[in-house]
Amino acid sequence: MSLRKWGLAFVAAITLSGGLAGAPAWGREQADAATAVLQEVPLSALPQQAQSTERLIRAGGPFPYEKDGSVFRNREQLLPVRKRGHYREYTVPTPGSRDRGARRIVCGGAQPTQPEACYYTADHYASFRRIVADR
Pinpoint the alpha helices (H) of 2-129: 3-16, 28-35, 48-59
Q: For residue 57, which of 34, 27, 88 has the smallest C-alpha distance? A: 88
The answer to whether the beta carbons of residues 122 and 105 sit under 8 Å apart is no
Q: How far apart are CA 65 and CA 53, in angstroms?
A: 11
Q: Which residues are catalytic?
A: 89, 124
In the sheet with 129-132, reading across from the earlier edge strand, the strands are 39-42, 129-132, 117-121, 104-108, 87-91, 70-72
